[in-house]
Amino acid sequence: MESTAATTARSILLPLALTQFVASFAASNMNVAINDIATDLGTDVTGVQTAITLFTLTMAALMIPGSKLTDIWGRKFCLRLGLLVYGIGALIAAVAQSQGALVLGYSLFEGVGSALMIPPVYIMTTVFFSDLAARARAFGVISGMGGIGSAAGPLIGGLITTAISWRASFILQAVIVAAIIILSRRINDPGVQGEKPVFDLGGAILSSAGLFFVVVGILQAGTYGWLTASQDFTIGGTVIIPQGGISPVWLFVGIGAAFLLGFFLYIRARERAGKEPLLSTRLFRNRTSNLGLITQNVQWFVLLGSSFAISVFLQTVRGFSAIETGLILSPATLGILISSARAGRMARRFSQRDLVRAGFVLTLGGLILLLLFASATSRILAFVPGLFVLGLGVGIMLTASVNIVQSSFPEEDQGEISGLSRSVSNLGSSMGVAIAGTVLVSAAALGNQA
């Protein structure tokens, strides 16, 4: 007969996978509705890009503190609390009448909700699926749903925006979240046994501030340029950097790097003093895990950055509608579906490192195909090979890299490594959207003016 643990593990997989889907969907579905949202709220493409970037940035900045709270408050509690906060944010965004209200509901509430609900997804999957092949299949489902949420977000968002309104996409998210809360009642999680960890407020502030300033710095490139400031950079009427000086991008990035260095020194000092830090420095000494973390950052950087750039290009340069843009991006969804569905089988035949390398090569190949064959005047079919190969590569990396990272540490470290893993992934997403918006979108606009 089947063990109770195996039955329990399977019963929790659906709500966990749906949780990852809705968070990933939220990061990409707005791409195809950029023009509609900008027109409706009286803003522009940059305003919508800022909201998307702030959403992923909020997740990146708060994922490590959120994961520590998972160990303190309990995995199931944090999952359901995060879902509740996320659902409230979706409803606020659905009725937003200004960019500020959109940022409040979408970027902040949904971002905070995601930071609470995503770490438990990866912690419980690692704990409940102890066998490597079974864990690979489980992460294949979860990572596949995450990839599908990101890749299919434009298609689903395009259909909803064209048929109803972009606001209906947020209503859909709220409905999915309500369903997950109901399904999550079946989760029987004993939680972390023994003494509860102490929340490190100082570490949380330093890590969040560092990530915030790095991404906000990149966002400044769209206004001031990358190397030299194209206009005066002022704060409160005082010119901080005159036109022609170094771009404020590097001022913000430098501040962020200083905070992150301070964070590392701070947690190391706490460890040496016998105090519990927000994040243990031993997590950075595992080479296998570091490979997975770098891969996660790159794959989400590529997936979200390329999705945003292509969506804006198709809508602003080629004049396609939301649904047309979503359909053009669907080959990437198909590629992710195929590779994620075969995750368990591939895990039995190949090592996780080989899968990461193969996924990286395919992803790079997909980007090269897009650069070679997809241009401002090319036919739509020219986008298909590159997007499909890109989806295959990202799908392979999504599952393998998560499995590598989570499997590199024992159960007592799952809270910390899950937060670090998701923070690195969302940092890649926010940087991908930020750089795509400041470089590729600006280039497209200049091309239109020529």
Report pLDDT digits (tens) over 128-156: 777 766 777 787 778 777 767 766 677 77
* Average confidence (pLDDT) over 118-134: 79
- Computed over every residue of the chain, the mean pLDDT equals 80
Phi, psi of 274 (to 5 degrees): 80, 15
- Would you state the pLDDT for residue 445? 42
pLDDT at 376: 59
% residues pLDDT > 70 (the chain) = 88
Query: pLDDT: is 88 or 297 the higher one?
Result: 88
The CA distance from 81 to 73, in Å, is 10
Contacts of 185 (CB under 8 A, 6+ apart): none
Helices (H), 234-351: 248-272, 287-316, 322-328, 330-341, 343-349
pLDDT at residue 374 greater than cutoff 70: no
pLDDT of residue 446: 43
- Nearest CA to 24 out of 13, 16, 36 is that of 16
* Of the listed ranges 75-84, 262-271, 377-386, the one predicted with least confidence: 377-386
**249-252 contacts at long range (C-beta below 8 A, 24 or more positions apart):** 249/217, 249/218, 249/220, 249/221, 249/224, 249/225, 250/217, 251/217, 252/213, 252/214, 252/216, 252/217, 252/220
What mean pLDDT comes out for the span 215-226?
Answer: 78
Give the dihedral sign, CA 200/206/211/215.
Answer: positive
For the chain, percent of residues with pLDDT exceeding 90: 15
Instruction: Average the pLDDT over 385-409 and give the result.
Output: 82
Residue 383 has pLDDT above 50, yes or no: yes
Topology of the domain comprising 4-187+278-449 = Growth Hormone; Chain: A; (1.20.1250)
pLDDT-derived band at 344, boundaries 50, 70, 90: low
Segment among 35-39, 126-130, 325-329, 340-344 with least mean pLDDT: 340-344
pLDDT computed for residue 441 by the predictor: 45
Say if residue 176's pLDDT is above 90: yes
pLDDT of 398 = 76
* pLDDT of 4 strictly over 60: no
